[in-house]
């Protein structure tokens, strides 16, 4: 299994440009998440999905959009990039068991700079 993969690894955007961060998992996980990590800080939840066709906002959703058309893929769309979106973006996934025990598996991250 490749686990959770993210592309690209690095990207520089100009203010006002748009882009899509790709995330794919091959573990048949129902739950997927997008986090951002600002320098020296913990991770903050942007959006998450409990299954194909279902998404919900997290703590910091403004400026982002997501879609979940398949179990495997959970792309994150940035519209009109702003310098405040300079961050490292992590995608994660987990099983859907109800015990709450299941850890999230993280992708390697995408380092985005908006100038």
Partner 1 sequence: AQKITQTQPGMFVQEKEAVTLDCTYDTSDPSYGLFWYKQPSSGEMIFLIYQGSYDQQNATEGRYSLNFQKARKSANLVISASQLGDSAMYFCAMREGTGNTPLVFGKGTRLSVIA
What region, left, alpha or beta, does residue 9 occupy, with left being phi > 0 and alpha being psi -120 to 50 degrees? alpha
- Of the listed pieces 20-28, 62-70, 79-87, 95-103, which binds partner 1 according to CB under 8 A? 95-103
Nearest C-alpha neighbor of 23 from the set 43, 44, 8, 45: 8
Nearer to partner 1, 74 or 90 (CB): 90
Residues 3-32 that bind partner 1 (CB under 8 A): 30-31
77 binds partner 1 per the rule CB under 8 A: no
Q: Which two tokens stand for residue 83?
A: 């310098």
Distance of CA 30 to the CA centre of its chain: 14
73 binds partner 1 per the rule CB under 8 A: no
Contact 74, 66 (CB under 8 A): yes
89 binds partner 1 per the rule CB under 8 A: no
Beta-bridge mates of residue 4: 25
Nearer to partner 1, 20 or 30 (CB): 30
Interacting residue ranges for partner 1, rule: CB under 8 A: 30-31, 33, 35, 40-45, 48, 50, 58, 88, 90, 92, 94-106, 108-109, 111
């Amino acid at each position: 299994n490749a686990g959770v993969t993210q592309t690209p690894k690095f990207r520089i955007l100009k203010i006002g440009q748009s882009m899509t961060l790709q995330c794919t998992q091959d573990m048949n996980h129902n739950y997927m998440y997008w986090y951002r990590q600002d320098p020296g800080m913990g991770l903050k939840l942007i959006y998450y999905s409990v299954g194909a066709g279902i998404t919900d906002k997290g703590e910091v959703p403004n400026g982002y959009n997501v879609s979940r058309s398949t179990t495997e893929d959970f792309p994150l769309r940035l519209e009109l990039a702003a310098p405040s979106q300079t961050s490292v973006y992590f995608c994660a996934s987990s099983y859907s068991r109800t015990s709450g025990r299941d850890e999230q598996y993280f992708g390697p991250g995408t380092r985005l700079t908006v100038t």
